[in-house]
Amino acid sequence: MIKDWLKKDKDVSIKGKVVSDMISHVTNDLLIGRKIKSGELRKRLVEPNWIVPGCFILQDIDMGKFKIKYLMSKEKPSKKGVILQLHGGGYMGAIRNAYYVFAGLYNEVSKGYSVATPDYRVAPENPFPAALEDAVATYMWLVEKKGFKENEIVIVGDSAGGGLAMALAMYIRDNNLPRPKGIVAMSPWTDLTASGESYTTNFHNDVLFGNTKESLIYENYYAKDEEKTNPYVSPLFGSFKDFPPMLIQAGSNEMLLSDSIEVAKKAKNEKVKVRLSIYEGMFHVFQMGYLNFPESKAAWKEVRAFFRILDKNKKFFE
């Protein structure tokens, strides 16, 4: 049961509650909310070019069918590894500038890892397996062009990107490619059938996708003609045998909570090192708050610790 996994040691911070209430107001009380839940706003969103902070170098890599942004520290980039970041958006929204901020944070908490962020192809124009193909191509670009070896690539992602990170790890294992170093998954979408307990129990609690069946959770075109139980679409239905260590974070109020809980259970049963952290009162991908409220700040602190563990092989997992 979900309640058995929830952390009871902390109350929701005042700032965290305010942010959650603000999101709920926008998504449930305003007309723009429906466009947010359906993904329509994200697909139409036009942003200015991201302004690269002076401490970074940002390279644009043209992969033909998609592009990669490769963020590096100007001074002393780490040689211990590299990060492949897979963005969220329900497989239907292209990348946003927020993910380049994420890349900067990942660079900081990893103490200098470079970050490759592909703007992978999305549905409905490019359904499965386009996103997975682009993720694989990015991974192999890091191996073949950048020279990273076995246990030197950390795959990270949020929401759909978190599920895609696990699907990529399955593909890597199934095809005997160089093993990744670890996985960080924030509110991963691992079950596109939406069959988990929390899709019901958190239906009225989820400030982003709750109170409607017209969100991109239910009206999604990624799988198209493919069975949604295909593990490369919904990793929950696959095997996690021989996976690298995983850090999975989720909010207790999100509809996708079961996706994290069930993956963690399954992976642990298959002897994978997994740490599942559920943040009380938090919403889907609350880490987008960066360092601006306690829960998000704590989540990023935990990610920092995860990288220290990967680098030093110390105990961190349950």
Q: Which residues are annotated as catalytic?
A: 159, 254, 284
Q: Which residues contact 2 (CB under 8 A, 6 or more apart)?
A: 197, 198, 201, 257, 258, 261
Q: Which residues contact 247 (CB under 8 A, 6 or more apart)?
A: 182, 183, 184, 185, 274, 275, 277, 302, 303, 306
Helices then strands, counting H and E runs in the chain, come out as 9, 8
Instruction: Please report, for residues 89, 194, 212, the alpha-carbon distance to residue 215 in angstroms, rounded to integers and kept in the order given.
Output: 12, 12, 6
Q: Which residues contact 140 (CB under 8 A, 6 or more apart)?
A: 177
Please give the Cα distance from 222 to 122 (Å, whole number). Answer: 7
Q: Report which DSSP code applies to 212.
A: -
Please give the Cα distance from 263 to 276 (Å, whole number). Answer: 9
Please give the Cα distance from 152 to 317 (Å, whole number). Answer: 19
How many beta carbons lie within 10 A of that of residue 312, not counting itself?
8
Exposed / middle / buried, residue 81 (Cβ in 10 Å: 0-12, 13-18, 19+): buried
Taking CB atoms within 8 Å and a gap of at least 24, the contacts of 261-265 are 261/2, 261/5, 261/196, 261/198, 262/190, 262/191, 262/196, 262/236, 263/166, 263/188, 263/190, 263/235, 263/236
Instruction: List the one residue out of 41, 165, 153 whose CA is nearest residue 94.
Output: 41
Residues 220, 222, 226, 230: what is their CA dihedral angle, to the nearest 10 degrees?
Answer: -100
